Amino acid sequence: MNRRTIRNLALFFFLFAIAAAGSNAEGQTKGKYKLTIYYGSNIMATTDVFVFSIGSNDQVTIKKGSPTATFARQFSSGESYTVTQLSGPRACDLFGQAKGTFGRADINISASCGTGPLTSMKADFIGIEQGESFRFADNQGRSAALPFSTLLNIGGFPTGDVFVYDQTDGPRTCRMQKPATVPSAPTTITVDCRKQPGGTTPPQTQPPPATKRFASPDLVSRSTDDKSFGTFYDAMQPSVGGMGEDEGRYVAFVSYAAGLGGSTGKFRQIFWRDRKTGETRMVSASAIGGEGNQMSGAPAISADGRSVAFESYATNLVPIDTNGVRDIFVWNADRNTITAVSTGQGETETDAESYEPTISGDGSLVAFTSNASNLIPNIQGQSSNNVYLKDVRSGSIQIISVDEKTKKGGGGSNPSISEDGTRIAFYNYAPLIPSDTNGLWDIYVWQRGNPKLKRVSTTLAGGERNQGDDSTSRVVAPSISGDGRYVAYATTATNVVSGDTNKMQDVFVAEVDSGRVLRASVGALDKEGDGDSPIGQGEKIAISYDGGLVAFSTKATNLGGNIIVRHINAGENVAISKDTGLTVGQPVMSRTGLYVVFGTSKRLDGRFQSSGIFAVSTK
CA distances from 334 to 304, 306, 308, 384, 591 (A): 12, 7, 11, 36, 21
Query: What is the average pLDDT across 426-435?
Result: 94
Both 80 and 126 in one domain: the answer is no
Residue 579 is predicted with a pLDDT of 80
Q: What is the pLDDT of residues 198-215, one digit of tens each?
A: 433 333 334 445 567 899
Q: Is residue 40 domain-resident?
A: yes
pLDDT over 80 (residue 507): yes
Rounded CA gap, 152 and 516, in Å? 9
Both 22 and 36 in one domain: the answer is no
Decide the pairing of beta strands 563-567 and 572-577: antiparallel
Please give the helix or strand (H or E) that residue 424 lies within, else none.
strand 423-428
Q: Is residue 209 domain-resident?
A: no
Q: Is residue 202 domain-resident?
A: no
Both 22 and 41 in one domain: the answer is no
Both 133 and 187 in one domain: the answer is yes
Percent with pLDDT over 90 in the chain = 60
Domain count, the chain: 3
Q: What phi and psi, each to the nearest 5 degrees, are found at residue 261?
A: 60, 25
pLDDT over 50 (residue 347): yes
Residue 383 is predicted with a pLDDT of 63
The answer to whether the predicted template modeling score (pTM) of the entire model surpasses 0.95 is no
Range of the domain at 17: 1-27
Both 52 and 83 in one domain: the answer is yes
Both 148 and 107 in one domain: the answer is no
Domain closes at, from 61, 96, 111: 111
Please give the helix or strand (H or E) that residue 3 lies within, else none.
helix 3-29
Q: Is residue 7 domain-resident?
A: yes
Domain closes at, from 162, 192, 222: 192
Q: What is the pLDDT of residues 390-430, one digit of tens each?
A: 999 889 999 999 999 988 899 999 999 999 999 999 999 99
Task: With beta carbons less than 8 A apart as the criterion, state whether 571 and 596 touch.
Answer: no
What DSSP letter does each residue of 48-71 carry, written as one string?
-EEEEESSTT-EEEEETTB-EEE-
Both 187 and 122 in one domain: the answer is yes
Both 72 and 134 in one domain: the answer is no
Q: Is residue 175 domain-resident?
A: yes
CA distances from 311 to 135, 160, 296, 567 (A): 38, 51, 6, 32
Q: What is the pLDDT of residues 97-151, one digit of tens each?
A: 788 899 998 898 888 888 888 998 888 888 887 778 888 888 887 888 877 677 7
Residue 197 is predicted with a pLDDT of 59
User: For 508-522, b where at least 16 C-beta lie within 10 A, e where not — what string?
Assistant: bbbbbbbbbbbbbbb
Task: With beta carbons less than 8 A apart as the criterion, state whether 399 and 409 touch.
Answer: yes
Torsion, CA 303, CA 307, CA 311, CA 317, rounded to 10: 180
Domain closes at, from 127, 157, 192: 192
Query: What is the average pLDDT across 194-201?
Result: 56
What DSSP letter does each residue of 450-500 carry, written as one string?
EEEEEE--S-TTS-PPP-TT--TT-----EE-TTSSEEEEEE--S-SSTT-
Q: Is residue 365 domain-resident?
A: no
The CATH number of residue 59's host domain is 2.60.40
Both 86 and 131 in one domain: the answer is no
Q: Is residue 388 domain-resident?
A: no
Q: How confident is the model at residue 6 (pLDDT cuts 50, 70, 90)?
A: very low
Residue 24 is predicted with a pLDDT of 39
Rounded CA gap, 223 and 230, in Å? 8
Rounded CA gap, 320 and 255, in Å? 25
- Pick the residue with more confidence: 486 or 161? 486
pLDDT over 60 (residue 588): yes
Q: What is the number of other CB atoms lying within 10 angstroms of the CB of residue 554?
A: 29
Both 39 and 23 in one domain: the answer is no
pLDDT over 50 (residue 29): no
Q: Is residue 234 domain-resident?
A: no
- Pick the residue with more confidence: 17 or 544? 544
What DSSP letter does each residue of 262-284 carry, written as one string?
T--SSS-EEEEEETTTTEEEESS
Angle at 498 between CA 497 and CA 500, to 5 degrees: 85
Rounded CA gap, 98 and 389, in Å? 23
Q: How confident is the model at residue 478 (pLDDT cuts 50, 70, 90)?
A: very high
